[in-house]
Structure 1
């Protein structure tokens, strides 16, 4: 990777390890948070994420601040030795369910099937179809709204509507009880 001081967008590609979880390969796009203030950037972002989901046949994409992602996807648990803590994931990949609700949640066909008619119960101001088989759920207007009391309440309401059993329980530290039916990774490349 070659970067300059003025670079504002970074793409990171992480391949799935042969002995790792089945759906861990990912594309990470990091951009300056200030860009999200621009309405045209936000519109372009939806189109770009949708195009990437189609290109990689991805069942899920989320957009959030790194702080919001960290608090929902990472956790520290007591070390097996009894001294200190160690880092681990809340859910390793989409086959284990969802870590939470973020600023932008792009749900592909396996998640649409899992949620079923519950998606229609989400207000149209927070839900829209952005491509054939991809629905965007957006609980608040800007990523900078995340981690506020209003955003937390909006996220909680969406978890209740979509089914709390589909999400990692941050309080009880329990895995989702309902997960999407994802195709085996080998079938994704065909």
Structure 2
């Protein structure tokens, strides 16, 4: 993603597996129908992407394991286009032998470069809901690179006393890094929230969708890229601190989603 100023991304994690040819072909066809103006040009497992996009070839790449051993299988696919704005689709799936902490996921990134169109909040939500329509979603977010920079990293002290920053590596199966511009909580999270799920579901800017809820951090029902800090803090209190990564101490959450 060279020459990138910043980006917007929608990411969804699934309970079910998405590595099959059926899922791949169905998703790629549906993407073309739902977003006809978004033209995928290149694809591959790694950048730089050099292979021209076709549905058949993309289906093959989607389902091909990247593992170098028969004892484990996992795969990833990168799709890229430049029209109507620079965008990427990232697909990650985990098969036999993969660590149970990982979840299959799909992410759509819209880049913001000099002189290019900026993705509207409404379009970002549309992409988010599209991703939520696939294979038992249980968690997802819409965020910006600026918000990720502020919330997805923590300050640490090095052995020589200098201060540095490190990325917070946390699977949603382990809990929450933070709350972002938009947050989807599926049944595994809602069940874990217990009695708090009713309060969460009745909170401002909460919308029922895909057997779960989307909660926005914007001011009352306003779709803008500015999150409401006060509402974010209020929502954190409703959910409970045990579900969140402790950035001060570097401790993982005590609670996470409950899978049946």
* TM-score, scaled relative to structure 2: 0.55
Q: Secondary structure, in 3 states, of the residue corresponding to 1:96?
A: coil
After superposition, give the CA deviation of every residue in 1:41-84 in whole Å (9 maximum; x if it has no partner). Answer: 35523431321xx32x33211111122123322335345x6476
Q: Secondary structure, in 3 states, of the residue corresponding to 1:165?
A: helix
Which aligned pairs between 1:1-190 and structure 2 lie closer than 5 A?
1=43, 3=80, 5-6=82-83, 7-16=85-94, 22-23=101-102, 25-32=104-111, 34-37=118-121, 39=122, 41=123, 44-51=126-133, 54-55=134-135, 57-79=136-158, 82=160, 85=164, 87-89=166-168, 91-122=169-200, 123-131=202-210, 133-140=211-218, 141-142=222-223, 144-146=225-227, 151-182=228-259
How far the C-alpha of 1:145 sits from its partner, in A, is 0.4
How far the C-alpha of 1:5 sits from its partner, in A, is 4.5
After superposition, give the CA deviation of every residue in 1:134-167 in whole Å (9 maximum; x if it has no partner). Answer: 2111121346203xxxx22211110001112111
Higher helix share: 1
Tell which has more relative contact order, 1 or 2 (C-alpha 8 A, sep 6+): 1
* TM-score, scaled relative to structure 1: 0.73
- Structure 1 unaligned blocks of 5 or more: 184-190
Higher strand share: 2
Q: Secondary structure, in 3 states, of the residue corresponding to 1:155?
A: helix
- Say what the alpha-carbon RMSD is for the aligned residues: 2.9
Between the aligned partners of 1:86 and 1:21, the Cα distance in structure 2 is: 28
Kept after mapping to 2: 8 A contact 1:21/1:93: no
Between the aligned partners of 1:143 and 1:93, the Cα distance in structure 2 is: 27
Larger Rg: 2
Number of aligned residue pairs: give it. 171
- Structure 2 unaligned blocks of 5 or more: 1-42, 44-48, 50-79, 113-117
Measured at CA, do residues 155 and 181 of structure 1 come closer, stay the same or move farther in structure 2, by a change above 3 Å?
same
Kept after mapping to 2: 8 A contact 1:9/1:30: yes
Between the aligned partners of 1:16 and 1:83, the Cα distance in structure 2 is: 39
